[in-house]
Amino acid sequence: MLPLGLLFSLNVFLSIGSSSQGAQIIDVERKIKILEDENRQLTQTLVIKTSLTKVSERVEELNLVRPTQVVYLNKSDTFAKLP
């Protein structure tokens, strides 16, 4: 009778254990999904924000202008030369 009781208890214990582990897995998977979604959102924002076309349009909206003349300096000796 005792072994049967032990077996029954073990069975109940294992069932509860596996059930709670299953719930943990679901919880971890849910968290992974949330992180994946956040990651995807951030990537989507990056994709849009790094668009040069969009930046150029914004530059025009802000009335920023390109330099009309670039001044080139003669290549001179290096600064802070060693003695």
Partner 1 sequence: MEIETRLVIIKYLFVLMGVVLLIRLFYWQGLMASELSEQARAQHQSSNQILAPRGNILSQDNTWLAASQEAWLLFASKPELKEDTKTIAVKLAPLLGEEKERIQSLLDRPEAVWIPIKHKISTEIKKNIQAMEIAGIGFDKQEMRVYPEGSLSAQLLGFVGKDEEGNDKGYFGLEGQYDLPLSGKPGYLQREADARGAPIIFGDSKEISAVGGADLVTHVDKTIQLVVEQKLKQGLEKYGAISGSAVVIDPKTGGVMAIASFPSYDPFKYYDFTDELFKNPVISDTFEPGSVFKPIVMASGLDAGVINPETVCDICHGPYKVDKYFIETWDQKYYANSTMTDVILHSDNVGMTYVGNKLGAERLYDYLDKFGFGGLTGIDLQGEANPRLRKKGTWNVVDTATAAFGQGVAVTPIQMVKAIAIIANKGMNVEPRVVDKIKGLGWEQDLPQSQEKRVISETAANQVTKMMIQAVKNGEAKWAVPKGFNVAGKTGTAQIPLQGHYDAEKTNASFVGFAPPSDPKFVMFITLKEPKTSPWASETTAPLWFSIAKEMFPYLGIQPGD
Enumerate binding residues for partner 1 (CB under 8 A).
Answer: 18-19, 21-23, 25-26, 40, 43-44, 46-48, 50-54, 56, 70, 72, 75
Residue among 25 and 35 whose Cβ is closer to partner 1 = 25
Q: Burial, 24: exposed, middle or buried (Cβ in 10 Å; 0-12, 13-18, 19+)?
A: exposed
Query: CB-wise, 49 or 81, nearer to partner 1?
Result: 49
How near is the Cβ of 36 to partner 1 at its closest, in Å?
10
Tokens for 80, please give them: 């802070």
The answer to whether 54 and 48 are in contact (CB under 8 A) is yes
Minimum distance, C-beta of residue 82 to partner 1, in the bound complex (Å): 25
Tokens of residue 3, six digits:
């072994």
Q: Which is nearer to partner 1, 9 or 44 (CB)?
A: 44
- Rounded CA-CA distance 14/20 in Å is 10
